[in-house]
Structures are given as structure tokens and as C-alpha cells.
């Protein structure tokens, strides 16, 4: 199956109650051949309306930080979320919703086959890396998981709320740039 075929299936998903209230499924965006995958938590209002991840203020900040290290969703990375549909009024996602949605993410990972995965924010990191993950302590550290390198960093929305975190987050992006040059330099090929 191709990523486009998976997307087509996902757009019709009714595996949890979020299908009743969503405007759009937010499957993911970027270059399907990229070796670097970013995983956020789930769509907010702007993402639900547009059907694309990280398109609000947080998304603009994310795109700016990515550009500093020559990464772009239009070119050399892919961005997805743990949960593909917006919870009503942005309430926290429920475990049943996360569990119902997880196979879509797993299949995206299998098809994209990234070498590096970056979890954006605590919720993504505790669900994907380790239930005890502490962003303030463990951000920027690469660990191996199923043959891929995985790192957690600050969520753009958290940086907007607390701009003091931006330098630390930017350091993580520079560390990511170095790691990319080491293990998947084709990311930066013209």
C-alpha cells in the first residue's frame, strides 16, 4: 500500500467517536520519502478546518524553527500527529481514542520508514517514547526504538506560552541537524 492509499482509507475512519465532530481528518503532510518524521499530539481548530497539521500560530513557529536547520514540510520532512481528529473544544484525547488511532500512525511509520522521529511535546513523547518522559529533562536526547532514533522536544505551543524554552528547543533542532548529517545526509541533498 502507498501512503496515498493509506490516507484515502484514513479519511474515512470511524474507529472512534471523534469522527462525529471532526471537520477534516488531519492525516499528515510532507515528503513521503523523507527520513525524518515529526509527531505532534493532535489537531486543533485550525488544523481541523484545514485538514493539515500545525497550521496555526504554533505551526508558523515550527516552520520558522525548521527553516533555521534547513528543514521544511515542502521538501525534506514529514509531519503527522498521534491522533488524526480534533477532540471537541480541544479537550485532552482519551486513551481509547489514542489506541484506536495508533494503527494509522504505525502504518505511516512503516511506509515512510524514517530514520529519525521527533516527538513534539510531552503528550506525544509519553505516548511514543516512554510514559515517564520529562520534556524539560530529556529533550534533545536520541534513543533507539525499533531501529530508529527517537527524540522528544518542546511543543511549539508550549514555546509560545513560555518563550524562555525557545533556546533549548533550538538547540534540539541543531542537534537534530547534526544527527541528520550523520545518518541520513540525503535529507540535505539538493
Cβ distance 73 to 30 under 8 Å? yes
| Segment interacting with ligand URA, rule: CB under 6 A, options 53-61, 69-77, 89-97, 102-110 | 53-61
- For ligand URA, which residue has the nearest CB? 40
**Residue 44, interface with ligand URA (CB under 6 A)?**
yes
CA distance 19 to 131: 26
The three cell numbers locating residue 37: 518524521
Among positions 38, 54, 78, 154, the unique one binding ligand URA when judged by CB under 6 A: 54
CA distance 142 to 178: 12
Phi then psi dihedrals of residue 154, to 5 deg: -70, 150
**Residue 40, interface with ligand URA (CB under 6 A)?**
yes
Sequence length of the chain is 190
- By beta-carbon proximity to ligand URA, the closer residue of 13 and 184 is 13
**Residue 43, interface with ligand URA (CB under 6 A)?**
yes
Which residues, numbered 73-92, are part of the site for ligand URA (CB under 6 A)?
Answer: 81
Cβ distance 187 to 36 under 8 Å? yes
Report in angstroms how near the CB of residue 150 gets to ligand URA at its nearest. Answer: 16
Pairing of strands 36-40, 116-120: parallel
- By beta-carbon proximity to ligand URA, the closer residue of 23 and 188 is 23
**Residue 30, interface with ligand URA (CB under 6 A)?**
no
DSSP code for 91: P
- The residues binding ligand URA (CB under 6 A) are 26, 40-44, 47, 53-54, 58, 81
Amino acid at each position: 500500500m502507498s501512503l496515498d492509499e493509506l490516507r484515502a482509507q484514513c479519511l474515512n475512519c470511524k474507529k472512534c467517536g471523534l469522527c462525529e465532530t471532526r471537520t477534516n481528518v488531519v492525516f499528515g503532510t510532507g515528503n513521503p520519502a523523507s527520513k525524518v518524521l515529526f509527531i505532534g499530539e493532535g489537531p486543533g481548530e485550525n488544523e481541523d478546518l484545514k485538514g493539515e497539521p500545525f497550521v496555526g500560530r504554533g505551526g508558523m513557529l515550527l516552520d520558522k524553527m525548521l527553516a533555521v536547520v534547513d528543514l521544511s514540510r515542502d521538501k525534506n520532512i514529514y509531519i503527522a500527529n498521534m491522533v488524526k481528529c480534533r477532540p471537541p473544544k480541544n479537550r485532552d484525547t482519551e486513551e481509547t481514542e489514542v489506541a484506536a488511532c495508533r494503527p494509522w500512525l504505525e502504518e505511516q511509520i512503516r511506509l515512510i520508514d524514517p530514520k529519525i522521529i521527533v516527538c513534539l511535546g510531552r503528550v506525544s513523547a509519553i505516548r511514543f517514547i516512554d510514559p515517564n518522559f520529562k520534556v524539560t529533562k530529556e529533550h534533545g536526547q536520541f534513543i533507539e526504538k525499533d531501529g530508529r532514533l527517537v527524540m522528544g522536544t518542546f511543543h511549539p505551543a508550549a514555546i509560545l506560552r513560555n518563550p524562555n524554552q525557545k533556546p533549548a528547543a533550538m538547540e534540539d533542532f541543531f542537534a537534530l541537524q547534526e544527527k541528520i548529517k550523520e545518518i541520513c545526509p540525503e535529507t540535505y541533498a539538493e
